[in-house]
Structure 1
Amino acid sequence: MEDQHRTEPRVTYCYRHPDRETGISCVRCERPICPECMVPASVGFQCPECVKSGSGTGHSPSASAPRTIAGGVIAGDRRLITKILLGVNAAVFVAVLVVGSRLVDDLLLFGQAVTEPYGPVEGVAQGQWYRLLTSMFLHQEIWHIAMNMLGLWFLGPPLEAALGRLRYSALYFLSGLGGSALTFLVSAPGQASLGASGAIFGLFGATAVLMRRMNYDMRPILILLGINLVFTFTWQGISWQAHIGGLAVGALIAYAMVHAPRKHRRLVQYGSCALMALLIVAACVVRTLQLTP
Structure 2
Amino acid sequence: MDRPSYGYSAEDAPEPQAPPVCPRHPDRVSYVRCQRCERPVCPDCQRPAAVGVLCVDCARDLERQQASSRPRNAMGGAVGRATPVVSYTIIALCVLAYVGQRVAPDLVVQLGIFAPFRALAMPWTFLTAGFLHGGILHLLLNMYALYVFGPQLERTLGHWRFAGIYLLSVVAGHTAVVLLTDPLSQNWYGGTLGASGGVFGLFAAMFIVIRRMGADAAQLIVLIALNLVITFTVQGISWQGHIGGLLMGGALTAAMYALRPKARPGSDRQAIARRSALLHAGVLAAGFVLCLALVLGRFALLPA
- Shorter-chain TM-score tier: 0.7 to 0.9
Query: Match for residue 97 of structure 2?
Result: 92
Query: Match for residue 83 of structure 1?
Result: 88
Deviates more, 1:246-255 or 1:179-188: 179-188
Partners of 2:143 and 2:220 lie apart in 1 by 17
1:276 aligns with 2:281: no
1:158 aligns with 2:146: no
Matched to 2:126, the amino acid is L
Partners of 1:167 and 1:286 lie apart in 2 by 28
Residues 124 and 288 of structure 1 are in contact (CA less than 8 Å); yes or no, is this contact kept in structure 2? no
Partners of 1:275 and 1:292 lie apart in 2 by 28
Number of aligned residue pairs: 228
Task: Quote the RMSD (CA, aligned, Å).
Answer: 2.0
Q: In structure 1, the residue corresponding to 2:116 is in which secondary structure?
A: coil
Residues 200 and 249 of structure 2 are in contact (CA less than 8 Å); yes or no, is this contact kept in structure 1? yes
1:139 aligns with 2:138: no
Query: Match for residue 58 of structure 1?
Result: 62
Matched to 1:287, the amino acid is R
C-alpha displacement of 1:157: 0.8
Partners of 2:224 and 2:125 lie apart in 1 by 27
Unaligned runs of 5+ in 1: 1-54, 113-122
C-alpha displacement of 1:288: 2.6
Report sequence identity in percent.
Answer: 32
Map 1:194-205 to 2 at 5 A.
194-205=193-204
TM-score by length of structure 1 reads 0.73
Query: Match for residue 73 of structure 1?
Result: 78
TM-score by length of structure 2 reads 0.70
Partners of 1:158 and 1:196 lie apart in 2 by 18
C-alpha displacement of 1:176: 0.8
Residues 84 and 154 of structure 2 are in contact (CA less than 8 Å); yes or no, is this contact kept in structure 1? yes
Matched to 1:238, the amino acid is I
C-alpha displacement of 1:74: 1.5
C-alpha displacement of 1:292: 8.2
Partners of 2:180 and 2:162 lie apart in 1 by 27
Query: Match for residue 208 of structure 1?
Result: 207
Render the CA deviation track for 1:85-138: whole Å, top value 9, x for unaligned.
Answer: 0000000000111112332122110122xxxxxxxxxx113x210110110101
Residues 75 and 260 of structure 2 are in contact (CA less than 8 Å); yes or no, is this contact kept in structure 1? no
Partners of 2:260 and 2:290 lie apart in 1 by 23
Query: Match for residue 124 of structure 1?
Result: 119
1:107–1:261 CA distance, 2 compared to 1 (3 A): closer
